[in-house]
């Protein structure tokens, strides 16, 4: 992270390694308006997952001076690919409290994002205009963020939601609520990346099968709860390796037990 704001040296445009990920966006105008929303808040990393119509003239028109953000936008086929290297992924959802994830309000979310950005890239993820994020996509997130809008009419326009969350990130940056990078702190251990966590979850699923944990029940509910538990606890890369070691031994023992 290149930003260290101090009272003596206020940075007018602090930056953070944060990417705004728009998933399956249907209207190109929203992509342009999101680019503009980011740039006004001093953010520049736009990532698109399977956009329906991009590049597009409508997006450029709505970017209105933020075409550079559009031009530098990266496009991925899946959300998992788009956030594989991220240390913290927040999924934004128009429907509060309906997801099986810890939920933050925007202010708290911004603080979390900046604190985790010490270890590497972090992501704010936005869903489709019509249907939001699918459950499988929300499950890739460490936590959710909900803008506490009118409960009877809580769905903001996509680019408006980007604007609100980008504003909170900027306010947190300007307020200097940043955990300083700890380059020479031996105690500090880097958080696991999204890809490391997904590798762990795959092995956890296999191990639960190997030890017949589900006993004929549908594994989905248990896996969702376990994912939530581990995602909530901010595992470091080292801790993920330790847990995978435990799983490997359990798998080895289960295999031995199955031998005739
Ligand atoms: N009809 C969809 C809403 C989509 S709005 C649904 O019911 O889920 C498009 C995207 O904007 C959402 O997926 C979410 O990422 C963001 N968004 C809209 N309103 C929001 C709110 N109140 N809080 C957080 N994100 C919101």
Is there a single domain that holds both residue 92 and residue 210? no
The reply to whether 180 falls in a domain is: no
pLDDT tens-digit map of 85-115: 999 999 999 987 666 788 999 999 999 999 9
Query: Does residue 106's CB lie within 6 angstroms of at least one atom of ligand 1?
Result: no
pLDDT tens-digit map of 179-190: 544 444 556 788
- The whole-angstrom distance between residue 217's C-alpha and the CA centroid of its chain comes to 30
Asked if the bond preceding 55 is cis, omega within 30° of 0, the reply is: yes
Quote the pTM value.
0.85
Provide the residue range defining the domain that includes 204. 194-258
* Distance in angstroms (rounded) separating the CA atoms of residues 157 and 112: 24
* Distance in angstroms (rounded) separating the CA atoms of residues 141 and 198: 11
Atom of ligand 1 minimally distant from the CA of 147: 23
Boundary (domain end) residue, out of 145, 174, 203: 174
Nearest Cα residue to 163 out of 53, 20, 60: 20
In the predicted structure, residue 163 carries a pLDDT above the cut 80: yes
Q: How far is the CA of 62 from the centre of ligand 1 (A)?
A: 20
As to burial, measured by CB atoms within 10 angstroms (0-12 exposed, 13-18 middle, 19+ buried), residue 54 is middle
Nearest Cα residue to 92 out of 149, 162, 41: 162
Atom of ligand 1 minimally distant from the CA of 125: 15
Is there a single domain that holds both residue 25 and residue 137? yes
Query: Does residue 133's CB lie within 6 angstroms of at least one atom of ligand 1?
Result: yes
Is there a single domain that holds both residue 86 and residue 214? no
Supply the CATH number for residue 51's domain.
3.40.1280.10
pLDDT tens-digit map of 37-80: 999 999 999 999 999 999 999 999 999 999 999 999 999 999 99
The number of residues making up the chain comes to 260
Mutate to test the pocket of ligand 1, among 155, 157, 163, 168 (most ligand atoms within 8 A of CB): 155
Query: Does residue 158's CB lie within 6 angstroms of at least one atom of ligand 1?
Result: yes
Model confidence at 14, pLDDT cuts 50, 70, 90, reads: confident
Is there a single domain that holds both residue 128 and residue 157? yes
Q: How far is the CA of 184 from the centre of ligand 1 (A)?
A: 40
> What is the total count of domains within the chain?
2
The reply to whether 6 falls in a domain is: no
CA atoms within 13 A on the CB side of 188: 11
> What crossing angle do the helices spanning 28-40 and 158-174 adopt, rounded to 10°?
10
What is the pLDDT at residue 10? Answer: 57
Query: Does residue 94's CB lie within 6 angstroms of at least one atom of ligand 1?
Result: yes
Beta bridge partner(s), residue 123:
19, 89
How many other β-carbons are positioned within 10 Å of the β-carbon of residue 102? 15
* Distance in angstroms (rounded) separating the CA atoms of residues 19 and 89: 10
Residues 226-255 have a mean pLDDT of 91
């Amino acid at each position: 992270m290149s930003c260290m704001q101090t009272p003596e040296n206020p940075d007018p445009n602090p930056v953070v390694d944060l990417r705004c990920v728009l998933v399956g966006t249907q209207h190109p105008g929203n992509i342009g308006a999101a680019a503009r929303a980011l740039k006004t808040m001093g953010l520049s990393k736009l990532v698109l997952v399977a956009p329906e119509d991009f590049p597009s003239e409508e997006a450029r028109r709505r970017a209105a001076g933020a075409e550079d953000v559009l031009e530098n936008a990266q496009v991925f086929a899946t959300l998992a690919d788009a956030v594989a290297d991220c240390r913290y992924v927040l999924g934004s959802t128009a429907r509060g409290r309906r997801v099986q994830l810890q939920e933050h309000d925007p202010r708290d979310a911004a603080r979390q994002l900046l604190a985790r950005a010490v270890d590497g890239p972090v992501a704010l993820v936005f869903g489709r205009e019509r249907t939001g994020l699918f459950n499988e996509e929300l499950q890739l997130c460490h936590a959710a963020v909900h803008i506490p809008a009118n409960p009877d009419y809580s769905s903001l326009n996509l680019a408006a939601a980007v604007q609100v969350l980008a504003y909170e990130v900027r306010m947190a940056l300007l307020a200097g609520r940043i955990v300083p990078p700890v380059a020479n702190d031996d105690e500090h251990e880097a958080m696991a990346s999204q890809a490391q966590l997904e590798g762990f979850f795959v092995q956890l699923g296999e191990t639960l099968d190997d030890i017949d944990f589900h006993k004929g029940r549908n594994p989905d509910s248990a896996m969702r709860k376990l994912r939530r538990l581990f995602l909530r606890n901010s595992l470091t890369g080292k801790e993920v390796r330790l847990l995978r070691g435990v799983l490997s031994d359990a798998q080895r023992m289960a295999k031995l037990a199955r031998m005739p």
